[in-house]
């Protein structure tokens, strides 16, 4: 009790020095709280952008992308003879052959389903991936491009150009072989696993989601619907089959977007790809399991490419990313500088206080106080100042974080157009720009979105900050205590007079 009452009386007697020490530690601790809260806010903002794409970091997309060789074909992959035959059937020029379109003068319409960006594989692979350690669930899908070719068969039929021959303009009397080509990307989804599908119920902006079973229903992308004046209740044609539009979907920024979504089995049947998929959505049990699961998938499915949340994050740009980079570069440095400066201020003030208390501390030693009691007294007072500074710093940090939230700072997250793929332009009403691979397949929504920056502060951060201030007080007290312990009683007697 003597120790506590003595320390309390000394702190009260030296209010100015106590306040200066506490405010020095408080400013350093407040900066630590504010910087970490701001960093947490930036992380939350990025998660907000990525959440619709990644299931909060646990979702992955598995494909077998085709690599185009210099000669124009597909190479660079070790495909079995059966897979090469499958590839020729699915992506070869035979699917666009119009030699048998009809008799000269007849009009024709033909829809071919082409996959020129991803190699399909047996749907049984979905079950194999779902059985891997660390996988919570998996669902297959099939993304194709429906190429509808229409026109009139010219006299003499269609004459394909000879390889390597120039496409010269037709002369007088030459037969014109003009045809109309309409491309529409379509994805077949497993409606029984809607939360894992390329389009989810949460993305429906009008109408409803696909029902399970064999109903001929379709969900249409909002941008495509605007371009073609399609509304819920209308119909879209895939081949010779009409599908009722039951909903409109808005793809998230950076997500893949098809023009039309139908039930997987339906698309497999009308495209001649029964039992085939070319994409698997995989959900890991938790975010920490993602790297191991991705590696296991690449070892299980040959030529597999796995896209994770980290890969998607690299596509996000804008002021949000710039702020995160700045926070990563300067945040740690500011925290260290602030803490070091606060600790030095506390230590210097404590040493100065010890110097001014030579008579007092020397007299205590002359009265019989051992060195350990003198060190304990000085250190205890300094720790109390550190605790006061920690509480003050926590208040400063919380106030700064609240100010950031109240300011409503808006950051932009954007996905820029990639080099190479064609750009289809924005839909009416300022819809997102759609980028795609061959024939629009594998589209990625580009554009930008605004995210309001917050600065959340949790209890753990506050406790750590207060602990750092107490540590600073302890270090300053230790330095001052050692200085006081070296004082000799004779110094105090010489100062009396």
In the prediction, which pLDDT does 166 show?
44
DSSP 133: T
Which pLDDT belongs to residue 27?
83
Report how far apart the first and last C-alpha atoms of the chain are (Å, whole number): 32
Q: What percent of the chain has pLDDT over 70?
A: 63
Q: What is the pLDDT, as a whole number, of residue 412? A: 67
Sequence ranges of the domains in the chain: 2-56+320-409+453-495, 59-69+78-95+105-153+179-307
Which residues, 6+ apart, have CB-to-CB distance to 64 below 8 Å? 118, 119, 120, 121, 278, 301, 302, 303, 304, 305
Predicted confidence (pLDDT) per residue in 107-121, tens digit: 777 788 887 667 889
Query: According to the model, what pLDDT value does residue 60 have?
Result: 85
Instruction: Give residue 128's pLDDT.
Output: 94
Residue pLDDT, tens place only, 70-86: 544 454 456 667 777 77
pLDDT (0 to 100) of residue 264: 93
Q: Outline where DSSP puts E strands in 15-91.
A: 59-63
- Banded pLDDT at 43 (limits 50, 70, 90): confident
Mean pLDDT across the stretch 121-140? Answer: 93
At 427-460, the pLDDT tens digits run: 333 333 333 333 333 444 555 566 777 888 888 8
What is the model's pTM? Answer: 0.58
Please state which of the ranges 55-59, 170-174, 272-276, 329-333 shows the lowest mean pLDDT.
Answer: 170-174
Q: How far is CA 17 from each of CA 12, 184, 286, 473, 478, rounded to the nearest angstrom?
A: 10, 75, 51, 13, 17
Residue 416 DSSP label: P
């Amino acid at each position: 009790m003597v120790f506590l009452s003595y320390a309390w009386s000394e702190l009260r007697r030296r209010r100015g020095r106590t306040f200066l020490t506490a405010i020095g530690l408080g400013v350093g601790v407040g900066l630590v709280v504010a910087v970490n809260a701001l960093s947490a806010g930036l992380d939350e903002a990025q998660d907000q952008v990525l959440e619709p794409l990644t299931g909060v970091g646990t979702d992955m997309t598995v494909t077998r992308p085709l690599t185009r060789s210099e000669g124009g074909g597909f190479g660079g992959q070790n495909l079995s003879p059966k897979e090469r035959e499958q590839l020729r059937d699915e992506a070869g020029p035979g699917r666009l052959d119009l030699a048998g379109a009809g008799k000269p003068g007849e009009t024709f319409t033909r829809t071919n389903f082409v996959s020129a960006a991803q190699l399909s594989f047996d749907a049984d692979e979905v079950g194999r991936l779902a059985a891997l350690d660390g996988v919570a669930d998996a669902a297959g899908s099939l993304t194709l491009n429906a190429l509808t070719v229409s026109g009139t068969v010219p006299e003499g039929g269609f004459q394909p150009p000879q390889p390597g021959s120039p496409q010269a303009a037709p002369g007088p009397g030459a037969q014109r072989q003009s045809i109309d080509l309409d491309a529409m990307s379509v994805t077949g989804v497993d409606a029984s696993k809607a939360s894992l599908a390329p389009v989810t119920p949460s993305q429906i902006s009008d109408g409803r989601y696909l029902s399970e079973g064999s109903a001929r229903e379709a969900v249409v992308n909002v941008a495509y619907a605007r371009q073609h004046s399609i509304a819920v209740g209308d119909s879209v044609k895939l081949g010779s089959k009409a599908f009722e539009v039951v909903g409109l979907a808005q793809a998230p920024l950076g997500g893949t977007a098809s023009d039309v979504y139908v039930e997987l089995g339906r698309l497999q049947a009308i495209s001649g790809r029964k039992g085939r998929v070319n994409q698997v959505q995989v959900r890991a049990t938790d975010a920490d399991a993602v790297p191991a699961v991705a590696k296991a998938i690449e070892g299980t499915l040959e030529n597999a490419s796995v896209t994770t949340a980290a890969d998607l994050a690299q596509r996000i740009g804008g002021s949000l990313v710039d702020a995160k980079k700045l926070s990563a570069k300067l945040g740690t440095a500011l925290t260290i500088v602030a803490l070091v400066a606060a600790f030095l201020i506390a230590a210097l003030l404590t040493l100065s206080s010890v110097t001014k208390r030579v008579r007092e501390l020397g007299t205590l030693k002359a009265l019989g106080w051992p060195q350990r009691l003198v060190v304990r007294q000085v250190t205890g007072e300094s720790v109390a100042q550190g605790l006061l500074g920690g509480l003050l710093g926590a208040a400063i940090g919380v106030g700064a974080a609240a100010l950031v939230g109240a300011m409503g700072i808006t950051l932009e997250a954007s996905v820029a157009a990639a080099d190479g793929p064609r750009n289809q332009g924005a839909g009416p009403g300022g819809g997102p720009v759609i980028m795609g691979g061959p024939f629009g397949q594998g589209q990625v929504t580009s554009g930008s979105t605004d995210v309001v920056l917050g600065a959340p502060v949790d209890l753990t951060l506050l406790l750590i900050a207060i602990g750092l201030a107490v540590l600073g007080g302890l270090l300053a007290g230790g330095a001052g205590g050692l200085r006081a312990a070296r004082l000799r009683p004779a110094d105090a007697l010489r100062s009396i007079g």
